[in-house]
A and B are shown apart, each in its own frame.
Chain A
């Protein structure tokens, strides 16, 4: 099966009637690109206000976006076959770096997440957000369905190793996201419901022991604070109280762009990074939230659409996993800022200020576009 020879430049007979458009030639999925551009533009508008009308912050974030789009387009050029071939090697390199960070970093500060290479600081764990679904998809591609215990076990080991190393950094939030991205591959690959239900039951049963022995005090505190922010008004509860105040005071219409008092008067912490949705909600009201969620939903639907139309199981699994991971970002961030979920360091995708997550996310969309390209060419 699966011979994904790029045909466009050579075999032009089908396309000669209609000249292949520029975007087609560079493997761009136009609807997805437009939605992403809309989202990142809206993100910059909100960021301008959230950063205290700092043009510098907008320019910096804009250049991250530019870099991200370039990487996205580059990622879109690579064939899925190559991704599949590269996956295990990328995985091994990533795992090595992670281990180095964890073990070399020990004794340095306790929380070592950054690696500096040639003046660029990046988090190795970010790359794993792409590499883990890739490697699990590579591992599962072509295996017989329904997935056997070997397939499941192997996948769990592949996603479990980096997740464990990242927990040791310690960064529970990222670790869970990475594990989830791998699990989504399993889910999309058709993991049987009895396993899923079993896992859910197991997770529920292990909640108590994990609470007792697994979580560090600050992690427990976050969960307790989420459940009752008033218990620690000035400490851990402050963020949640202030973000809920910001969101709620926006109402339907919002206070207007640049009119957020919670953010402008510094009541809202992290207003331009993890809590930026609160600024959006305060200034643009529920209208703005609906607009944002609409854009997100369209992106998600486009992601699923690409998955459904993918020609290979590798592409399908990757598309499903990337889309679901993107959704998890949205859900966790919007949920935590609104006080539904404990506070974990998850940015609002493509809106929160920050370079690493922008680049990783857009690179992911590049992979998605590569899948889209494959499905289009396959359909021909």
Chain B
């Protein structure tokens, strides 16, 4: 190589390198400037956004669910409490592959289809990083197993929760109702903030009716947690407000007496205090173990309850609608007295049957089948009630007409809801020409009035309505709205009254006389109850036909299958001089009132033996 060549080359190289360096420096400056702009955009322009984001990462608002209020009976017996229970929850954001995590968990402990289904529903609407419950009521073993495997189960948390527990399960099932896991539809209706962190909501009964009071107010805590969801410290805390406790007017012993007396039969008993409207017992059998529902009942259990012929989920005491049968008679008697159509002394001829003028159809008296004749040639009100004379009331009904009958029976609470403080109450039917036109678009037939006079036909009432009507009778016209809850957090609820039913004292006395004779009279239809009784009870028996019986046919209990037997009914109050309890009882397919009346004795005995005096 020649030196000059070298030099020239070297100069050229230097020049090229110099210019390339300038370009490189420019490029470096531009690109670093670009990076700087990016950091400027993140740190200055969008500072607020990312600061908030970082704060949200760091600080989590955790709901602190309130403790649900307890439920006691009138004497302080605990009917619904909260017990600690361990819940397995999953934080969706931390488990990685959810399906893998779930199958992993299923190798450790059983997870039912229903649990999974509930879990998936909840996951979809949970907030980020919120633990979603998967399995409830972990056993000791399951908790140990989870603790041992914790290291390979990120995002799986075991939390202690308070779980509703009903110490008496079936006994108070229909009186209390129950709570259950919040369903999809309920989520829409409930206040989202207040129920954040709450698993359960009252589903039926008192638990549902008083949901707002029992639930309490949710609390919150701000916690600092790391990316793995571990809470490092609590920054601030607003404590939840515990739900209020309810004291029911129910008396455990009266409830138990009614429940035991019903035994394994289908039926219902409602006992109320006529002076206050307090419900002392509310039983519908068969019941069911309400604890099954708390965590979401299994399909098998639910199907068994739903498909049972005995319909245990059906609250006969307030949802059941039965023809009141002869238990309507004392109320009919009051209608007759008020209308002036009868007096306590006036009589009706009783050949054992009744027919409308110009009609050959014979409305038979129940006594005809037994004696072949009527109760007596002439029957007065007292005898008509005590011996349950049908003819007397056939005649009264015809003269009263159905619409006036409805008018006079209405104040006793028939045909409309009593307004009791629980769910699913039915109004029953108090028939009238208007009702029939509206409900069936048919005219009223005179013959229908006759059977309505003895509580058959269209008329339907629930055991609660019977008890309420009996209470109105017992208190001589005081009308109280029945209620199950007596006090909230020890604060007594005021008695709520409707306008009283005003009638002269002798009217009440006449009917009381008749009802006393039902139990205490020689020919009383429930005279068996008087045996060994320490107080005076007023009662009225009733029988409701389940299937129609053809003209002249004879109802033979042995011939008809169990489910076609008559319903047995009984209403009663005691003690007559100052009644403190009124009951309405039905025993489905009991055959007759004798199935129901002994229950009244048990229930009233239980109540009066508790009540001093």
Docked CA distance A338–B43 (Å): 10
In the complex, chain A residues whose CB is within 8 Å of the CB of B304:
none
B12 adjacent to A145 (CB under 8 Å): yes
Contact with B along A233-271 (1 / 0, CB 8 A): 010000000101111111110000000011011110000
Q: Which of B21, B29, B47, B226 contacts A251 (CB 8 A)?
A: B47
In the complex, chain A residues whose CB is within 8 Å of the CB of B16:
145, 189-190
Q: How far is the CB of A349 from chain B (nearest CB, A)?
A: 13
Tell me whether A248 and B47 are in contact in the complex, defined as CB-CB below 8 angstroms, given that A289-B36, A301-B25, A320-B24 are known contacts: yes
In the complex, chain B residues whose CB is within 8 Å of the CB of A234:
93
In the complex, besides A293-B32, A307-B17, 19 extra interface pairs with C-beta distance below 8 angstroms are A1-B6, A189-B17, A245-B50, A245-B53, A248-B50, A249-B50, A249-B54, A252-B44, A265-B226, A281-B39, A289-B39, A297-B28, A308-B18, A308-B21, A316-B14, A330-B35, A331-B35, A338-B42, A340-B38
Q: Which of B20, B39, B42 contacts A320 (CB 8 A)?
A: B20
In the complex, chain B residues whose CB is within 8 Å of the CB of A324:
24, 28
In the complex, chain A residues whose CB is within 8 Å of the CB of B577:
none
Docked CA distance A247–B41 (Å): 10
Docked CA distance A145–B44 (Å): 48
Docked CA distance A267–B224 (Å): 12
In the complex, chain B residues whose CB is within 8 Å of the CB of A244:
42, 50
User: Chain B: which residue is nearest A248 at the CB level?
Assistant: B50
Contact with B along A305-316 (1 / 0, CB 8 A): 001100001001
In the complex, chain B residues whose CB is within 8 Å of the CB of A246:
50, 54
In the complex, chain A residues whose CB is within 8 Å of the CB of B522:
none
Q: How far is the CB of A337 from chain B (nearest CB, A)?
A: 10
Chain A count of residues within 8 A CB distance of the other chain: 52
Decide if A304 is an interface residue (CB 8 Å cutoff): yes
B36 adjacent to A293 (CB under 8 Å): yes
A249 adjacent to B224 (CB under 8 Å): no
Q: How far is the CB of B233 from chain A (nearest CB, A)?
A: 11
In the complex, chain A residues whose CB is within 8 Å of the CB of B43:
247-248, 250-252, 281, 285-286, 289
Q: How far is the CB of A179 from chain B (nearest CB, A)?
A: 17
Contact with A along B40-52 (1 / 0, CB 8 A): 1011101101110
B17 adjacent to A331 (CB under 8 Å): no
In the complex, chain B residues whose CB is within 8 Å of the CB of A190:
13, 16-17, 20
B227 adjacent to A265 (CB under 8 Å): yes
In the complex, chain B residues whose CB is within 8 Å of the CB of A41:
none
Q: Which of B1, B13, B34 contacts A316 (CB 8 A)?
A: B13
Tell me whether A286 and B44 are in contact in the complex, defined as CB-CB below 8 angstroms, given that A145-B16, A246-B54, A261-B54 are known contacts: yes
Give 10 CB contacts A-B under 8 Å.
Answer: A145-B16, A187-B20, A245-B54, A247-B50, A252-B43, A281-B39, A293-B36, A304-B21, A304-B25, A331-B31
Contact with A along B201-236 (1 / 0, CB 8 A): 000000000000000000000001111100010000
B51 adjacent to A316 (CB under 8 Å): no
In the complex, chain A residues whose CB is within 8 Å of the CB of B49:
248
In the complex, chain A residues whose CB is within 8 Å of the CB of B38:
335, 338-340
Docked CA distance A242–B53 (Å): 9
Decide if A300 is an interface residue (CB 8 Å cutoff): yes
Q: Which of A248, A289, A335, A339 contacts B51 (CB 8 A)?
A: A248
Tell me whether A247 and B42 are in contact in the complex, defined as CB-CB below 8 angstroms, given that A1-B6, A190-B16 are known contacts: yes
Q: How far is the CB of A162 from chain B (nearest CB, A)?
A: 23
Q: How far is the CB of A316 from chain B (nearest CB, A)?
A: 5
In the complex, chain B residues whose CB is within 8 Å of the CB of A301:
25
Decide if B193 is an interface residue (CB 8 Å cutoff): no
A327 adjacent to B227 (CB under 8 Å): no
Question: How big is the B interface, by class?
Answer: 35 or more
Q: How far is the CB of A229 from chain B (nearest CB, A)?
A: 12
In the complex, chain A residues whose CB is within 8 Å of the CB of B139:
none
Query: Chain A residues in contact with chain B, CB under 8 A?
Result: 1, 144-145, 187-190, 234, 242, 244-252, 261-262, 264-267, 281-282, 285-286, 289-290, 293, 296-297, 300-301, 304, 307-308, 313, 316-317, 320, 323-324, 327, 330-331, 334-335, 338-340
Tell me whether A266 and B20 are in contact in the complex, defined as CB-CB below 8 angstroms, given that A1-B10, A261-B54, A293-B35 are known contacts: no
Docked CA distance A183–B155 (Å): 48
In the complex, chain B residues whose CB is within 8 Å of the CB of A245:
50, 53-54, 57
Tell me whether A188 and B10 are in contact in the complex, defined as CB-CB below 8 angstroms, given that A252-B44, A265-B224, A293-B32 are known contacts: no
Within B58-77, which residues are at the interface with A (CB < 8 Å)?
A: 58
Docked CA distance A247–B47 (Å): 9
8 cross-chain pairs, A with B, having the tightest CB-CB distances, nearest first: A248-B50, A249-B54, A190-B16, A266-B227, A265-B226, A248-B42, A267-B227, A286-B43
Docked CA distance A187–B46 (Å): 38
A-B contact count (CB 8 A): 141
B9 adjacent to A267 (CB under 8 Å): no
B232 adjacent to A265 (CB under 8 Å): yes
A313 adjacent to B13 (CB under 8 Å): yes
What's the dominant secondary structure at chain B's contact region?
Answer: helix
Contact with A along B349-393 (1 / 0, CB 8 A): 000000000000000000000000000000000000000000000
User: Chain B: which residue is nearest A260 at the CB level?
Assistant: B54
In the complex, chain A residues whose CB is within 8 Å of the CB of B57:
242, 245, 261-262, 265, 267
In the complex, chain A residues whose CB is within 8 Å of the CB of B24:
187-188, 304, 320, 323-324
A251 adjacent to B51 (CB under 8 Å): yes
Contact with A along B527-558 (1 / 0, CB 8 A): 00000000000000000000000000000000
Most A C-beta atoms less than 10 A away, residue of B25, B34, B49: B25
User: Chain B: which residue is nearest A187 at the CB level?
Assistant: B20
User: Chain B: which residue is nearest A316 at the CB level?
Assistant: B17
A249 adjacent to B226 (CB under 8 Å): no
B20 adjacent to A251 (CB under 8 Å): no
Q: How far is the CB of B38 from chain A (nearest CB, A)?
A: 5
Q: How far is the CB of A83 from chain B (nearest CB, A)?
A: 18
Docked CA distance A327–B227 (Å): 33
Docked CA distance A307–B18 (Å): 9
Docked CA distance A189–B14 (Å): 10
B17 adjacent to A335 (CB under 8 Å): no
In the complex, chain B residues whose CB is within 8 Å of the CB of A335:
35, 38
B17 adjacent to A313 (CB under 8 Å): yes
Most A C-beta atoms less than 10 A away, residue of B29, B54, B58: B54
Contact with A along B290-319 (1 / 0, CB 8 A): 000000000000000000000000000000
Docked CA distance A301–B22 (Å): 10
Docked CA distance A261–B232 (Å): 12
In the complex, chain B residues whose CB is within 8 Å of the CB of A252:
43-44, 47
In the complex, chain A residues whose CB is within 8 Å of the CB of B14:
316
In the complex, chain A residues whose CB is within 8 Å of the CB of B13:
145, 190, 313, 316
B93 adjacent to A265 (CB under 8 Å): no
Q: How far is the CB of B613 from chain A (nearest CB, A)?
A: 70
In the complex, chain A residues whose CB is within 8 Å of the CB of B51:
248-249, 251
Q: How far is the CB of B50 from chain A (nearest CB, A)?
A: 2
B21 adjacent to A338 (CB under 8 Å): no
Tell me whether A340 and B50 are in contact in the complex, defined as CB-CB below 8 angstroms, given that A262-B57, A308-B18 are known contacts: no
In the complex, chain B residues whose CB is within 8 Å of the CB of A282:
54
Docked CA distance A1–B40 (Å): 49
Q: How far is the CB of B54 from chain A (nearest CB, A)?
A: 4
